[in-house]
């Protein structure tokens, strides 16, 4: 019975527009206001005196009671403090809701906590919106932040909105020092600003790919030369929103290139000068026999200096005869291509050119040998001794080489550009992977929306089927009487007696089909909904397998006639994140389906428990084509894939490996080419 002093307060709580609940020190409900009763769907007689666990709060009884006891201990020490908690609760009709609770202790006369006053707010919709927003970002952010190249995202005004780890390493700035600041005032050199603005404006206006090289300022006052590739991204309305720039720091590379160019030009001039000197020397020797020995010694000394510069030059230098035979090479050629000098000298230069490029290279070499000027540098693919292709950039000029006054060949020089070409190709591939990741995030949103649209008409069919069943039940009684009095008659061309037998199974079949559609759609929606990423759920691995096979049902049915699911019922729970483990199982099932070469080959998915090691295992086995031994060491590398032509990104196993590792587990892949693959996820059992 409420006292006269408590009455106004209790009335005010009773008619308040928020959830108000009072609990005693044991966690039993002593009061629930009208708003709370309407929200959870209970009457006073159903809750008063009963524990809140199992009625309002969802979760294992001992675990929740333990948290409640620790909260009481905290309140006893700090009675003036309000304890704020977020908990998943459940209503009478089974709805799961997220409630933000503000808990205040009510003290007894001796200062102990006798009751707890709990005020709650429903924040389920807020959490759902946060989760959907996070879903769109997680996958792209992972690729963006871990890329080996510099990646920066700016809005159409040039303000920085994303800045990855590689950018931080190159420039020395932290994330919080650059986000929201303009690239014009922050990184770009003033003398290059007009060039950068022209590239940036061109990308935004024309919505096209662009590239350029310019310097970025670093935090310590230095500058780095960056080679940039820019792509414009739009929003869902088709409006241009961001410019994504991918860059490689080529400062050191450009410095080396400039030094090599200076060496090359110096060597060419030196060779030309020394050749002219030798020619003049020879002419003088023909006319001055008395000075021959002295001039020969000078020539040998000059040739020695030439040989030293030629041999030690970092540029690749070759001397070719007038018919294209290699007469000499320096040590840079042998280091770059892997051949010895004996492997090259005396061979035709064209024998080492990649076959599909021989025609173009042959034309340029013929022009050089005829002393015709070649205006552009020639990027020449040459076969190295190990079978690889080295890209040598030969200078447009060549030096004529003379012997005893007669022209007998040319000297050409080049720089090995293979490493730079590989770096440029890697950058372009990483940018394509970023674009593909954005497409996959958009596709996830589309799948969730389509699943919702399917669910609405399916619910309509399910509801109407139930009504039809009731109608047929009532109607058939009247038709039976008519049939008994009038005899057999037809409906839609079939005898009534036959229709009566088929009508029940027909309605049951419609109901079963719509229920299956509903389960598949719900599984898709559950998978598309991203959780906060917590790894503290208690998970039944058999439920994970069931959910994954429902979503993958169509692909599994198309891929194999021999699907086996062997789940052990006594498998203990594990701790982690349900959706992340489900994602790994789906990745492994997808790989298994793609590995099969015929529907007669089988797929087996099973669960098991090792009581000695306390480890729970989910295993996916296929009888497909297996994995080549040379590819096994790369299967967990990001972006490594043997299915690039069919849309593979090389991220499935890399992401799966990291998810399993985050769950303190192991992802083990065993495969034999031509015999199949076994993938095992091994997790510690929950204590």
b/e 582-616 (16+ beta carbons within 10 angstroms → b): bbbbbbbbebbbebbeeeebbbbbbbbeeeeeebb
CA distance 275 to 303: 9
452 pLDDT above the threshold of 50: yes
Homologous superfamily, domain 7-122: PAS domain (3.30.450.20)
Strands 406-416 and 316-321, sheet pairing: antiparallel
Q: Is the pTM of this model over 0.85?
A: no
314 within 8 A of 263, measured Cβ to Cβ = yes
41 within 8 A of 67, measured Cβ to Cβ = no
Angle at alpha carbon of residue 67, lines to 61 and 69, rounded to 5° = 100
CA distance 573 to 108: 42
CA distance 393 to 415: 5
For residue 137, give both structure tokens: 């970002």
Banded model confidence at residue 238, pLDDT cuts 50, 70, 90? low
CA distance 497 to 480: 9
Which tens digits make up the pLDDT trace of 476-507? 778 888 878 778 888 777 887 887 777 777 77
Which CATH topology does 254-416 take? Beta-Lactamase (3.30.450)
Write down the pLDDT at residue 289.
59
User: Which residue, among 91, 25, 29, has the nearest Cα to 56 in the 3D structure?
Assistant: 91
Please state the rounded mean pLDDT for residues 169-188: 82
State which of 347-351, 426-430, 460-464, 640-644 shows the largest mean pLDDT.
347-351
Strands 113-122 and 19-24, sheet pairing: antiparallel
The CATH number of the domain covering residues in 537-684: 3.30.565.10
The region of weakest confidence among 59-68, 222-231, 435-444 is 435-444
Which residues are CB-neighbours of 354 under 8 A, at least 6 positions away?
381, 382, 383, 389
40 within 8 A of 92, measured Cβ to Cβ = yes
Homologous superfamily, domain 144-249: PAS domain (3.30.450.20)
Please state the rounded mean pLDDT for residues 378-382: 80
Paired strand residues for 229: 211, 246
56 pLDDT above the threshold of 80: yes
> Cβ–Cβ contacts within 10 Å for residue 289, how many?
8
Please state the rounded mean pLDDT for residues 339-356: 88
Burial of residue 346 (CB within 10 Å: 0-12, 13-18, 19+) is exposed
CA distance 383 to 338: 10
Please state the rounded mean pLDDT for residues 126-146: 61
């Amino acid at each position: 019975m409420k006292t006269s002093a408590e009455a106004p307060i209790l009335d005010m709580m009773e008619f308040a527009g928020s959830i108000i609940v009072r609990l005693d020190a044991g966690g039993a409900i002593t009061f629930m206001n009208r708003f709370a009763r309407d929200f959870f769907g209970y009457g006073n007689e159903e809750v008063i005196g009963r524990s809140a666990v199992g009625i309002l709060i969802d979760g294992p009884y001992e675990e929740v009671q333990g948290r409640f006891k620790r909260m009481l201990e905290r309140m006893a020490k700090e009675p003036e403090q309000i304890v704020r908690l977020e908990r998943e609760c459940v209503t009478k009709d089974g709805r799961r809701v997220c409630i933000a609770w503000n808990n205040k202790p009510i003290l007894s006369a001796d200062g102990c906590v006798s009751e707890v006053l709990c005020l709650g707010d429903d924040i389920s919709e807020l959490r759902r919106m946060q989760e959907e927003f996070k879903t769109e970002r997680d996958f792209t952010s992972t690729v963006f932040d871990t890329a080996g190249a510099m990646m920066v995202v700016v809005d159409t005004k040039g303000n920085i909105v994303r800045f990855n780890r590689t950018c931080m390493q190159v420039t020395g700035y932290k994330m919080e020092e650059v986000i929201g600041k303009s690239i014009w005032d922050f990184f770009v050199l003033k003398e290059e600003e007009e060039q950068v603005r022209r590239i940036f404006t061109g990308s935004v206006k024309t919505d096209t790919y662009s590239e350029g090289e310019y310097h970025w300022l670093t935090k310590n006052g230095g500058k780095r030369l960056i080679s940039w590739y820019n792509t414009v991204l739009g929003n869902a309305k088709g409006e241009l929103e961001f410019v994504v720039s991918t860059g490689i720091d080529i400062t050191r590379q450009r410095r080396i290139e400039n030094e090599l160019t200076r060496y090359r030009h110096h060597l060419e001039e030196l060779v030309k000068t020394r050749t002219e000197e030798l020619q003049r020397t020879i002419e003088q020797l023909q006319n001055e026999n008395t000075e021959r020995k002295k001039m020969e010694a000078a020539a040998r000394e000059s040739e020695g200096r030439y040989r030293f510069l030629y041999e030690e030059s970092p540029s690749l230098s070759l001397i070719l005869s007038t018919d294209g035979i290699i007469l000499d090479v320096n040590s840079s050629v042998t280091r770059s291509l892997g051949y010895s000098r004996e492997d090259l000298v005396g061979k035709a230069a064209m024998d080492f050119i990649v076959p599909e490029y021989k025609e173009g290279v042959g034309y340029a070499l013929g022009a050089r040998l005829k002393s015709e000027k070649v205006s552009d540098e020639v990027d020449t693919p040459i076969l190295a001794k190990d079978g690889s292709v080295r890209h040598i950039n030969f200078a447009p000029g060549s030096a004529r080489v003379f012997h005893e006054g007669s022209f007998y060949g040319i000297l050409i020089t080049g720089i090995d550009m293979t490493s730079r070409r590989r770096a440029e190709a890697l950058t372009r591939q990483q940018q394509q992977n970023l674009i593909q990741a954005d497409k996959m995030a958009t596709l996830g949103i589309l799948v969730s929306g389509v699943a919702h649209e399917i669910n609405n008409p399916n619910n309509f069919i399910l509801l109407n089927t139930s009504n039809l069943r009731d109608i047929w039940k009532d109607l058939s009684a009247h038709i039976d009487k008519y049939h008994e009095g009038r005899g057999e008659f037809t409906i839609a061309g079939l005898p009534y007696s036959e229709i009566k037998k088929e009508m029940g199974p027909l309605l049951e079949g419609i109901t079963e089909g719509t229920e299956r559609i509903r389960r598949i759609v719900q599984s898709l929606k559950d998978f598309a909904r991203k959780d906060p990423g917590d790894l503290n759920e208690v998970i039944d691995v058999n439920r994970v397998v069931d959910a994954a096979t429902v979503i993958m049902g169509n692909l599994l049915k198309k891929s194999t006639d021999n699907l086996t699911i062997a789940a052990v019922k006594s498998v203990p729970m594990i701790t982690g994140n349900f959706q992340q483990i489900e994602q790994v199982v789906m990745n492994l099932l997808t790989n298994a389906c793609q590995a099969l070469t015929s529907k007669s080959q089988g797929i087996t998915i099973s669960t098991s428990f090792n009581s000695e090691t306390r480890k729970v295992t989910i295993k996916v086995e296929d009888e497909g084509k297996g994995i080549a031994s040379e590819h096994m060491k790369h299967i967990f590398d990001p972006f490594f894939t043997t299915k690039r032509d069919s849309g593979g990104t090389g991220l499935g196993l890399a992401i799966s490996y990291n998810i399993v590792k985050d769950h303190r587990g192991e992802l083990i892949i065993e495969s034999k080419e031509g015999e199949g693959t076994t993938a095992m996820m091994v997790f510690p059992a929950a204590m």
